[in-house]
Each structure stands twice: as C-alpha cells, then as structure tokens.
A and B are shown apart, each in its own frame.
Chain A
C-alpha cells in the first residue's frame, strides 16, 4: 500500500500552479497517470523517486519516504525509473548497464531475453535504436527488483509497431516482478491495454480516478460507436457538406447537412458517434 499526500508549487509555462495530490495505491496495481503537459505528472513521479523536494507525506509499504522531518534519499527507495529519454550509461555495454545496478548475471540475461536484446549485449547504448534503448532502460529499472516502478512516458518517442510490442513486454514484466507500477501516458489504447487504474491530473489536481474502461469509453448516451477527432476541412459537395476528420492517425469523411455544417468550425474537436451500426472487423 502506497500513501501519497504531497504539495508543491510548480513554475509551469503558464505561470505557477500548486501540485496538490492525495492518492492511495494498492500493491501490485498498474496505475496510469494522464493529463495535459504541464499538469504535474512528471514532477509527481520525480517527487516519488526522491529526485525533487516537496511538502507532505509519502509512505510505501509501511516505510516513511517523506514526512515533515525527513526525506529518504533516492538511493534508499528501491525504485525502478524509466526516463522518457532513456538516460542509459553510455560508457557501459548493454550487459554492463544492467550489472552496474546489481551483480546478478542470471537476472540480467533473463531480462535481456524477455526484451529480445540478448544478441546486442556487448553493444554500446549509442549504437542502439530508440526502441532497443527503451527496452534496455526498462531492464535496467528492473535489475534491483524495485518495489515501485515509475515510467515517465516511456513509449512516446517510439513508432506504433514497436510501441505495441513494448507494451506487451512492460505488462509481462510488471506481472512477473510483482511490482507496483505508475506510468505516465497520453495514449488511451496504451492505458486501456496496461493499466488497472487511471488517474487524470489537471493543473496539479486529480480530476478523475477510476478504471480505464469507465473513464476512457466516451459513451454518455446510447451510442454504439464514438470517437473524438479534429475537424480538418468542411467542403460543399452539391447539396451536402463533407467533413474531413482526423481520428488518431486516420482521416475519415462524414456527410453533413447544411445545418450541421454551419454549427462546426474547422480546427475544433468533435465527437463522431453512431447508433444503428453493424461493424465489420477485418
């Protein structure tokens, strides 16, 4: 059980804001932290890791990490941290990166096998691709069998194919090592696939907290299908209007009446939903 109650003033891009978060996290939970940039997600992770100061209390499995009297240094927290930009030890080979953390060769080889890096074990980090670096970073974070695994947007710099593969590996490792994991992510499909709980932050406060299924499925009527996207273009074709809408990486066309078309502006966020519908999966 992890108890967090912290308070810190942040100097963001849009002036200062107060990060004020109270959370209880169960052991073994996979928590996704979501929210706009500048809402305090990364700072929250860094405070948990002991890399930044804050007021308040943090208690992890009966051990005091932060209170009014003391701050436990990062060295003593047993945390696995995966940084967005990898932060690997460039002077060490792949395997040395792992053995520097803990002298446990079997564990290192096991982790490299799961993440399919075995053949690259004698390479230096600078010669690896982004996906390989992030896998190594994940292995490194698990080398000390952490109580708490913190992932700061680990996959945001990677393309979708590698992302999906790494998501599977993260989930596998989370289960195998029985850690409590907190991951910052913006990607709804990623959150849905991995997390057992989502917490949304806005301007330093928790605005939503619940199961991914409840929070991410945007069904607030009787719609069967609902997507949100950005309206790219409105075009008049004969007597109807055609709207071009970007949903994720896809662009779709939707036919609109004149009235509907006049109530929307190019660039705004829209929701497309439909009721009677028989989808075909192929």
Chain B
C-alpha cells in the first residue's frame, strides 16, 4: 500500500545525492565568478522554477525517447530505454530540482567573508580543501536548506513525473501520481490518508530545518 511513498523517497534521495555533486561546483563557480556569462548560466539554471512542468516534461521526453540521439545510443549500447521507467524519473527530477539545490548553495557561498577564503588559500589549502573544510561548514543552514528543499520538491513533483514516467506501479508510480489516480477513481478515503501523510512528513521536515538553523546560529554566537 505504501509502495508509492517508498518510490517517492527513493527517487528524492537519489536525486538529492546526484544533484549535490552537480550543483556544488556550479554554485561555487557562480558565487566566485565575475564573468559576463554568469547571468546567462543563472537564468538557465532558474528556468525550471518558472516553466510549466509539462514543457519540461515534453522536452525531456523528446530528448530521451528512442528517436533521439541520446535515447538511441542507450538503446543500442545498453539495450535500455530512458523513458517510462525509474531512470527517466531520476533524470527528469535532476533537471526539475536543479535550481532548488543551486540557489541556496550559491547565496550561502556569496554570503561568506571573502577574506576567510583567502586566509585558507594563503595557508596553502587548495580550492577543494577550502570548499569542504571552510566554506561548506560555514553555510550549514544554506546547505541543509538546499538538501531538504530539493528532497521535498522532488517528492512533491507531479507534472514532469507523469509525463516522463507515466504511472507504472513499483516503477514510476510515485505518491503524488498515486493520489491523482485515487482522486480520478474517486477513492477519496485513500486519497485523504495519502495526502495527510504527505502534509505530516513535509511539516516535520520543514520544522526540523527551522529548529536546526536556530540552534546552529546560537552555537556559533550569530
């Protein structure tokens, strides 16, 4: 009965893990650069926030279908389809949730005292060491916000998932899609249970974020 939830959480966890490693260098680059291409990259990154999920879903579907070069490549080499399965959901979610990971990290990095980073460089530390031992630990609230919001946003996605994955039980039928189907088939009692669980989980998650950042700020005397 709770399979759609497990699927949602599995999808969200994998998406968060992949996006963290994609977004981290991107957010760092955007926070440190004065390049003229910065606004263009920023606009592209933010696009999924404003685009209707159907537009995003449509193009992901086009790009991954077996008629596209990428889809054909995977079909020929791995005998694997990139649409209407779990992999396609992960790929779609990474596009859809990218801004929610990049933006908090970028604004966190931008808020850091530049001289603190310079002090680390002068001590002989590489960029990599500086990011992991100085920059990230000093933006713990931004980091947590990025991880949690990306997770919650991926759990909450509906349109893109439906278009790219359909509704295959155990494969692509995540909680949000399941609720949609219950309402369609007028199974209101189960829809209520699912929806209530969704609200409960998200509330607890958000509450813990806010409690954590309050405690964290207190610890460092902020």
Interfacial residues, chain A to chain B (CB-CB below 8 A): 49, 51, 73-81, 83, 85, 87-92, 100-102, 124, 126-127, 140, 143-144
Contact = CB atoms under 8 A, between A and B. Distances in A.
Given A51-B118, A89-B119, A89-B134, A124 B219 contact: yes
Contacts of A91: 134, 137-138, 140, 220
Interface string B186-222: 0000000000000000000000000000000001111
B44 interface: no
Contacts of A140: 119, 123
A73 B119 CA distance: 13
Q: Among B116, B126, B222, which residue has the most Cβ atoms of chain A within 10 A?
A: B116
A81 B118 contact: yes
Contact of A49 (B122, B125, B219, B220): B122
B113 A74 contact: no
A229 to B, nearest CB: 34
Count chain B CB atoms within 10 A of each CB in A78, A85, A100, A144 and give the residue with the most. Answer: A100
A87 B119 contact: yes
A83 B119 contact: yes
Contacts of A51: 118, 121-122
A74 B122 contact: yes
Interface of B: 113, 115-116, 118-126, 133-134, 137-138, 140, 219-222
A80 B123 CA distance: 8
A71 to B, nearest CB: 13
Contact of A83 (B115, B121, B124, B221): B115
B125 A75 contact: yes
Given A75-B122, A144-B123, 18 more contacts: A75-B126, A77-B122, A79-B122, A83-B115, A83-B119, A85-B115, A87-B115, A87-B116, A89-B119, A89-B120, A90-B138, A91-B134, A100-B123, A100-B125, A102-B123, A124-B219, A124-B221, A144-B124
Contact of A100 (B126, B133, B221): B133
Contact of A75 (B115, B124, B138, B220): B124
Nearest to B219: A124
Nearest to B119: A87
Contacts of B120: 89, 100
Contacts of A92: 137
Contacts of A49: 118, 122
A149 to B, nearest CB: 11
A171 B162 CA distance: 70
A89 B112 CA distance: 10
